[in-house]
Amino acid sequence: MINNKEQLIKIIDFWNKSAKSDKLFSRALVPELDLKSKEIVDLVGPRRSGKSSILKLVIKELKLLDNFLYINFEDPFFVANNSARIIEDLVEVFLEYFNTGLRYIFFDEIQEIFGWEKALRKFRDAAKYKIFIAGSSSKLLSSEMATSLTGRHQSYRVFPLSFLEFLAFKGVAALSRKERILNEQKIVKNFDEFLAIGGFPEAALTGEKELLKNYFYDILQKDVAARREIRDKGALEKMGVYLLSNSAKIISLESLKNLLNLSYFSANAYLNYLKDAFLVFDVPQFSYSLKKQEKAFKKTYAIDTGLADAVSFKFFEDKGRLLENAVALELLKQGKIIFYYRGQGNSEADFLIKEKLKVKQAIQVCWSLADKKTRAREISGLAAAMGEFKLKEGLILTYAEEEIIKTEQGKIFIQPATKWILGQSGAK
């Protein structure tokens, strides 16, 4: 027997109507989603990055009228009604009171329900419904989930808006190459705003930086402290602020431990929790030895430049790191496997892109090469990486400079990050 039938009817009615009534902006991920197979589709990324909108865009794309169930499990009702059974109850109530021809199920913030895998596995095995789920925890991508839903799900990462999506949100339609050249000043102006406010959709639309601070505290409280039962919330907050303030830098566990007066175990746990909640991500140092790669320090980046600037101490003033963070995010959104390079004599390159077993590209990021010492350092580090990995071309992304130079190792293309992001790269 199902308890709370009347409440479930109201909840289903509310959320299904909300799924059809919202004004939505298109997202680049939607055409990539598998809408036809029987596999569960899961969308995973930071809260407020647009997962709910993507689920609603899928409903719109499929032209669904009344043969779908959409629920957001952050609804307060589920605080007191939290079990795998409640998922089954929702489906039963829908079939009884709304539509017996249910074909599609959309569950948002699924990680809020304890034991949700059990219910979804049951529905997937029955093969009656196409299921889409979304969540704000990287555990949805973990081996633990893969074991629970072996062969039954396809995972997609959701990030805050890319610069191209940001332009669309701002009413700047997709431009041809010729139009981009003619509208260069407008694009640069939008890029400045993109770096400052970031890609969280609502913040991008409104320009309200205070929203980003709210997102930061929501991530800390809802996705980490409450879920992990963290007692020392002060240390957790300080770690979050420190990581965002030092984005695009190498950060060691030892430094975190000493800074926050934590044990090594706690510092490591807190860092992993913040990565799990998508506040930050890290990039490892490249090495052919997995053991050396694991031991080497990692570079930490913010999930969004606007979020980092809103929370941190004057991050926006360090324009080089700001641009590097934006490039790291773009590479991540492109699905690239990335590392940073450190060679002999402390030569460095910001990014190596690996495809299968080979390093295919080396990228350096620098706001400006006007200073002679900076120019020499950036070119030298990139050339060292090109030489080690036998690359005939290298790329330096800047804010505004553009040039092609020749080195013993090969050509180095210097170009504005906006042109690279929008696909106008002169490099192969």
Instruction: Please write the tens of the pLDDT for every residue from 300-330.
Output: 999 999 999 999 977 778 899 999 999 999 9
Domain map (residue ranges) of the chain: 5-157, 192-421
- Judged by DSSP in three states, 17 sits in helix
Mean pLDDT calculated for residue range 83-105:
93
Question: What pLDDT does residue 22 have?
Answer: 72
Mean pLDDT calculated for residue range 155-172:
92
Evaluate if residue 175 carries a pLDDT over 70. Answer: no
- Positive or negative: CA dihedral 371, 375, 378, 380: negative
**Alpha carbons 139 and 34: distance in angstroms, whole number:** 21
What's the mean per-residue pLDDT of the chain?
91
pLDDT band at 170; cut points 50, 70, 90: confident
Question: What pLDDT does residue 3 have?
Answer: 76
* Strand residues in 137-292 grouped as ranges (E): 153-157, 249-250, 280-283
Question: What pLDDT does residue 186 have?
Answer: 86
**Alpha carbons 303 and 161: distance in angstroms, whole number:** 11
Taking alpha carbons only, the member of 392, 399, 391, 404 closest to residue 419 is: 399
Q: pLDDT: is 169 or 324 the higher one?
A: 324
pLDDT band at 131; cut points 50, 70, 90: very high
pLDDT band at 139; cut points 50, 70, 90: low
On the 0-12 / 13-18 / 19+ scale of CB atoms within 10 A, 386 is buried
Question: What pLDDT does residue 426 have?
Answer: 40
Residue 111: other Cβ atoms inside 10 A: 18
**344-400 pLDDT tens trace:** 888 999 999 999 989 999 999 999 999 999 999 999 999 999 999 999 999 999 999
Question: What pLDDT does residue 118 have?
Answer: 87
Taking alpha carbons only, the member of 50, 56, 55 closest to residue 304 is: 50
Question: What pLDDT does residue 337 have?
Answer: 96
Beta-strand relationship, 40-44 and 130-135: parallel
Mean pLDDT calculated for residue range 224-240:
93
Question: What pLDDT does residue 181 have?
Answer: 62
Question: What pLDDT does residue 338 have?
Answer: 98
Q: Give how far Cα 243 sits from Cα of 185, 236, 249, 268, 352, Å.
A: 33, 11, 9, 13, 22
Q: What is the pTM of this model?
A: 0.92
**280-299 pLDDT tens trace:** 999 999 998 989 998 899 99
In eight-state DSSP terms, residue 199 is S
**Are the C-beta atoms of 144 and 108 separated by less than 8 Å?**
no
Question: What pLDDT does residue 425 have?
Answer: 39
**Alpha carbons 48 and 53: distance in angstroms, whole number:** 10
For the domain covering 5-157, report its CATH number: 3.40.50.300
Mean pLDDT calculated for residue range 88-99:
93
Question: What pLDDT does residue 290 have?
Answer: 87
**50-91 pLDDT tens trace:** 999 999 999 999 999 889 999 999 999 999 999 999 999 999
Which of 126-130, 175-179, 252-256 has the weakest average pLDDT? 175-179
